[in-house]
A and B are shown apart, each in its own frame.
Chain A
Amino acid sequence: MHEMSLAESVLQIIEDTARAQKFAHVRTVVLEIGALSTVEAEAMLFCFDAVTRGSIAEGAQLQIVEIPGTGWCMECGKNVTLSERYGLCPECGDARVEITGGNELRVKDLEVE
């Protein structure tokens, strides 16, 4: 989807943090992406490279930590693992699984100098 505008959001968060924490260059950016968040890690890497040119994050390594999708099945009352947003409950086959994890889209931390 819209990885370009999300990559711009990453850069904006980095620039805000740089102003507050006074650093001049970023070496590593750790980004948490949930398995159900509809973001493609490969597209994110591509877009991050493109938007960080000429910025304090130019050349920084983007580390993507994938958070697995998890849900709560209301039918069988169990915590289950989900690979798709609309995935059926792997235990009972019921569609009504409430997503409890895997929606993350978050800058976790930065290694800066």
Chain B
Amino acid sequence: MCTTCGCGSHDVLIGGKAATKRAARTPTQGAVAYRPRAATLEPAPVHSPDPATTRRIQVERDLLAKNDLLAASNRALFNARHMLALNLVSSPGSGKTTLLVRTIAALKGKIAVAVIEGDQQTENDAERIRATGVQAIQINTGKGCHLDAGMVGQALEKLSLPEKSLLFIENVGNLVCPAAFDLGEACKVVVLSVTEGEDKPLKYPDMFRAATLMLLNKCDLLPYLSFDVSLAIANAKRVNPDIAIIPLSANSGAGMDEWLEWIARNAQ
């Protein structure tokens, strides 16, 4: 298991059914224990391979190449259907699902919406979305800490996606790992809630760098907090000078109009 986040690709469920296995190989037997080895950072240790039995093979392959290929295939599908796909990322508890429920209610009758929900466990979020009357499919990543393009591709097969519809992909609550994985989305939208702290963009710069839009959520709580909105905005801009920022509250509805206008502009 990953030392930083516990991530691995086992036990992925899409709509409650086992996902297609991506790599067939013999599972490791027994417990996996950390076996420390000598540091092998550059300069590479000198050793003398036996030229008679060993050879060197140039590989030059990107680790994310496979994910990027699958993401390109998802993106081609979105483009062919003139869809807008948004990848919603944040830490757990920032209010992504509440924001989606409110957004879907406001868009009802205007645009067809579907949602892909990513969580390690439970169907809770997909059930909350389905209660609004739109399609939602839950991906349970098991030990995984992020959605990848392959999981999203499999979930897309289970959704009916009309022309010019809007797809929200609610990623696993995690401000680190989802930043590196392209899912084929038009852009990443990062949700930061005012109960978290102004320095989140500096602590987790990759995510704020990868996002096009930051939604500053739970602004109705500002009177009860010492959260400095202008400092949070300055920190986000320091990490990503081009990021757009909309303060709002999915609970009170304040600022939602600006978010809905942003969606309408980008859905065209």
Q: Decide yes or no whether B3 CB sits under 8 A from chain A.
A: yes
Q: Decide yes or no whether B179 CB sits under 8 A from chain A.
A: yes
From known contacts A2-B177, A21-B57, A85-B209, infer whether A49 and B63 are also in contact, taking CB-CB under 8 Å: no
Q: Decide yes or no whether A79 CB sits under 8 A from chain B.
A: no
Would A5 and B209 count as touching, CB distance under 8 A?
no
- Chain B residue contacts of A61, Cβ below 8 A: 37, 40, 45
Closest to B62 in A: A106
Would A50 and B32 count as touching, CB distance under 8 A?
yes
Shortest Cβ gap from A12 to chain B (Å) = 5
Would B8 and A5 count as touching, CB distance under 8 A?
yes
Task: Bits for A79-113, please: 1 = Cβ < 8 Å to B, else 0.
Answer: 00000111000000001100000000111111111
Would you list which residues of chain A between 1 and 49 have a CB under 8 Å from chain B? Answer: 1-6, 8-13, 15, 17, 21, 23, 27-28, 30, 38, 40-43, 45-47, 49
Would A38 and B1 count as touching, CB distance under 8 A?
no
Would B40 and A53 count as touching, CB distance under 8 A?
no
Would A107 and B61 count as touching, CB distance under 8 A?
yes
Would A43 and B4 count as touching, CB distance under 8 A?
yes
Would A43 and B3 count as touching, CB distance under 8 A?
yes
Closest to B58 in A: A109
Would A112 and B55 count as touching, CB distance under 8 A?
yes
Would B7 and A5 count as touching, CB distance under 8 A?
yes
Q: Decide yes or no whether B261 CB sits under 8 A from chain A.
A: no
Q: Decide yes or no whether B64 CB sits under 8 A from chain A.
A: yes
Q: Decide yes or no whether B131 CB sits under 8 A from chain A.
A: no
- Chain B residue contacts of A110, Cβ below 8 A: 56-57, 59
Would you list which residues of chain B between 43 and 73 have a CB under 8 Å from chain A? Answer: 44-45, 49, 53-64, 66-67
Q: Decide yes or no whether B241 CB sits under 8 A from chain A.
A: yes
Q: Which of A9, A27, A85, A111 contacts B66 (CB 8 A)?
A: A9
- Chain A residue contacts of B107, Cβ below 8 A: none
Closest to A31 in B: B63
Interface residues of A, Cβ cutoff 8 Å to B: 1-6, 8-13, 15, 17, 21, 23, 27-28, 30, 38, 40-43, 45-47, 49-51, 53-55, 61-66, 84-86, 95-96, 105-113
- Please name 18 further chain A to chain B contacts, defined as beta carbons within 8 Å, in addition to the given A4-B7, A15-B23, A61-B45, sorted by A numbering: A1-B4, A1-B5, A2-B180, A8-B23, A9-B63, A9-B64, A13-B61, A17-B59, A23-B57, A50-B32, A53-B28, A63-B42, A85-B239, A86-B239, A95-B238, A106-B63, A111-B55, A112-B56
Can you list 18 A-B contacts (CB < 8 A)? A4-B2, A4-B9, A8-B23, A12-B23, A38-B180, A51-B28, A53-B29, A55-B25, A63-B45, A66-B41, A85-B239, A95-B241, A107-B60, A108-B58, A110-B56, A110-B59, A112-B56, A113-B54
Interface residues of B, Cβ cutoff 8 Å to A: 1-5, 7-9, 23, 25-29, 32, 34-35, 37, 40-42, 44-45, 49, 53-64, 66-67, 144-146, 148, 176-177, 179-181, 202, 205-206, 209, 238-241
